[in-house]
Amino acid sequence: MRISTNMLYQLSNTDLTNMQGSILKLTQQINAGQTVLLPSDSPIAAARALDLAQTQALNTQFATNRNNANSSLATVSNALTSVTNMMTKLKSDIIQAGDASFSNAERANMATELKGNLQEMLGFANSTDGLGNYVFGGYKSGSAPFSFDDSGNIVYNGDQGAQTLQVDSTRQMEVSVSGQAVFQGNGQDTFKMMQNLITLLAVPTTEAANNADTQAANTFEYPAGSGLFPIAAYNTAQAALDAAQPTDPNYATLLTQAANAKLASDKADAARTPIAGSQASLTRSLNTLHASITSQMSNIESATASVGARQNELDNLDAQGKVLDQQYTQTTNDLLGRNLSDTTALVSQLSLQQQYLQAAQKVFVSTSSLTLLNYLK
């Protein structure tokens, strides 16, 4: 078959152009680090890779949410730890203040210190996370949940809700705690207890005559030296007196016995009801506060345990999320040809294409220079 010079040039130009296009495509693939540059290169792989990219982006968002949740829960945990430490200090202060050797001046100094502790406790209750949200305010995370009212009492301004974050495709986690449940739960008001303790310690204690011992408070003595009898015997003595007649020979004795019994009974009643400001009254009030604080600490410990469990769950979800992210990345690399083996194959193909191009160019030069005149020379 005879090929004209024009046809030779056209065929050679087409071949050389295709080879140069292949080299350009291979160069772009190597620079991009993947074999699939356009959906047309592999429609199925490109569509699957797009789905995986969206799924991986969602997984990344969950990881961000988990990080934010961990930050908020860490703030709650730190605040609860500080509250627990403060409550432990209060219990220690109560025991110390109840010591009879503790002076009024020392109790007054302790009351002054507790006023500062009360402000600290208020600060713990108004803790904010890294985003500036109040973690004990419920849904009302934009304003301080606790504040002083006009009467000087600390009141809760939040609600019973809890802020939540989607930390996994099937898990929505609470990242805050109701401040009312922690600081004022089960009828135990932490702030009120602290204020009551401050007021109690500010009152000087005095020893009074009615602070008798327990045995004396429950007995009385007959003047005839008959020994100690229960206070209840007063009723018997009074009944005997009521039944006697003034003309009875022993009426005077019964009258004296009833009077002495009444005196002993009054003394016992007074001993069982210490006067305000007495050491006995202080001890009784301190014991009540100590029991209340112990009960309140149980609420705080429960909240702390709940927060710790959620933090552990976040750690587990993070580990699972990282595994999924690696799987998504590997699958996408396989689909789009991003692996090292794919790049190595591209480099080899580029080298071959360059050799083919050089050979084709030499053939074209040799062929195009052949003319009839060369044979006539």
Q: What whole-number distance in Å separates Cα of residue 367 and Cα of residue 152?
A: 105
Beta strands in the chain (DSSP E): 146-148, 154-156, 164-168, 171-174, 219-221, 228-230
Tokens read off for 45:
């792989």
Q: Which one-letter amino acid corresponds to residue 262? A: K
Share of the chain above pLDDT 70, in %: 75
Q: What is the pLDDT of residue 52?
A: 93
Q: Are 167 and 173 in contact (CB under 8 A)?
A: yes
Q: What whole-number distance in Å separates Cα of residue 290 and Cα of residue 200?
A: 13
169: in domain: yes
Same domain, 192 and 256: no
Q: What is the mean pLDDT of residues 157-177?
A: 91
Q: What whole-number distance in Å separates Cα of residue 197 and Cα of residue 206?
A: 18
Same domain, 72 and 150: yes
Q: For residue 80, what are the CA distances in angstroms to 16, 127, 197, 258, 303? A: 76, 10, 21, 61, 8
Q: What whole-number distance in Å separates Cα of residue 8 and Cα of residue 114?
A: 102
Q: What is the mean pLDDT of residues 107-128?
A: 94
Same domain, 58 and 97: yes
Q: Which one-letter amino acid corresponds to residue 265? A: S
Same domain, 144 and 247: no
Whether residue 374 has pLDDT greater than 70: no
Q: What is the pLDDT of residue 240?
A: 65
46: in domain: no
Same domain, 94 and 201: yes
Render pLDDT for 309-347 as a digit per residue (tens, 0 to 9). Answer: 999 999 999 999 999 999 999 998 888 777 777 778 878
Q: What is the pLDDT of residue 223?
A: 44
335: in domain: no
Q: How many domains does the chain have?
A: 3
Q: For tokens 């029991």, what's the residue?
A: 291
Q: What is the pLDDT of residue 15?
A: 73
The separation between CA 155 and the C-alpha centre of its own chain, rounded to angstroms, equals: 22
Mean pLDDT of the residues in the chain: 80
Q: How does residue 131 score in pLDDT terms, banded at 50, 70 and 90? A: confident
Q: What is the pLDDT of residue 213?
A: 43
43: in domain: no
Tokens read off for 251:
């009426």
Q: What is the mean pLDDT of residues 210-224?
A: 42
Most confident range, picked from 10-19, 81-90, 201-210, 326-335: 81-90
Q: What is the mean pLDDT of residues 283-306?
A: 91
Q: What whole-number distance in Å separates Cα of residue 152 and Cα of residue 172?
A: 39
Same domain, 111 and 157: yes
Same domain, 64 and 167: yes
245: in domain: yes
More confident residue, 168 or 370: 168
Q: What is the pLDDT of residue 219?
A: 41
Same domain, 264 and 292: no
Same domain, 220 and 113: no
Q: Are 20 and 356 in contact (CB under 8 A)?
A: no
44: in domain: no
Q: Are 257 and 237 in contact (CB under 8 A)?
A: yes
Same domain, 127 and 171: yes
Tokens read off for 136:
């004990």
Q: What whole-number distance in Å separates Cα of residue 178 and Cα of residue 161?
A: 7
Q: What is the pLDDT of residue 207?
A: 56
Q: What whole-number distance in Å separates Cα of residue 254 and Cα of residue 265?
A: 16
Same domain, 323 and 353: no
Q: Are 150 and 138 in contact (CB under 8 A)?
A: no
Length of the chain: 377
Whether residue 9 has pLDDT greater than 80: no
CATH number of the domain within which 142 lies? 1.20.1330.10
Q: What is the pLDDT of residue 278?
A: 76
56: in domain: yes
Share of the chain above pLDDT 90, in %: 41
Count Cβ neighbours within 10 Å for each residue of 159-185 and write b for 16 or more, e otherwise. eeeebebebbeeeebbbbbbbbbbbbb
More confident residue, 115 or 348: 115
Most confident range, picked from 223-227, 294-298, 308-312, 367-371: 308-312
17: in domain: yes
Q: What is the pLDDT of residue 222?
A: 40
Whether residue 297 has pLDDT greater than 60: yes
DSSP state of 205: P
Q: How does residue 217 score in pLDDT terms, banded at 50, 70 and 90? A: very low
Whether residue 123 has pLDDT greater than 90: yes
Neighbours of 10 (CB within 10 A): 11
Q: How does residue 218 score in pLDDT terms, banded at 50, 70 and 90? A: very low
Whether residue 228 has pLDDT greater than 50: no
Closest C-alpha among 111, 181, 174, 114 to residue 146 = 181
Q: What is the DSSP string of 30-63?
A: HHHT-S--SGGG-HHHHHHHHHHHHHHHHHHHHH
pTM check: above 0.75: no
Same domain, 64 and 201: yes
Whether residue 300 has pLDDT greater than 50: yes
Q: What is the mean pLDDT of residues 138-165?
A: 91
Neighbours of 188 (CB within 10 A): 18
Most confident range, picked from 12-21, 27-36, 243-252: 27-36
Q: What whole-number distance in Å separates Cα of residue 295 and Cα of residue 307?
A: 19
Domain that holds residue 184: 52-208+282-327
What does residue 148 show for φ and ψ, rounded to 5 degrees? -80, 140
Q: How does residue 130 score in pLDDT terms, banded at 50, 70 and 90? A: confident
What does residue 2 show for φ and ψ, rounded to 5 degrees? -90, 135
Render pLDDT for 241-283 as a digit per residue (tens, 0 to 9). Answer: 566 665 566 655 655 565 555 555 554 454 444 444 578 888 8
Q: What is the pLDDT of residue 277?
A: 58
Report helix, strand or coil for 204. Answer: coil
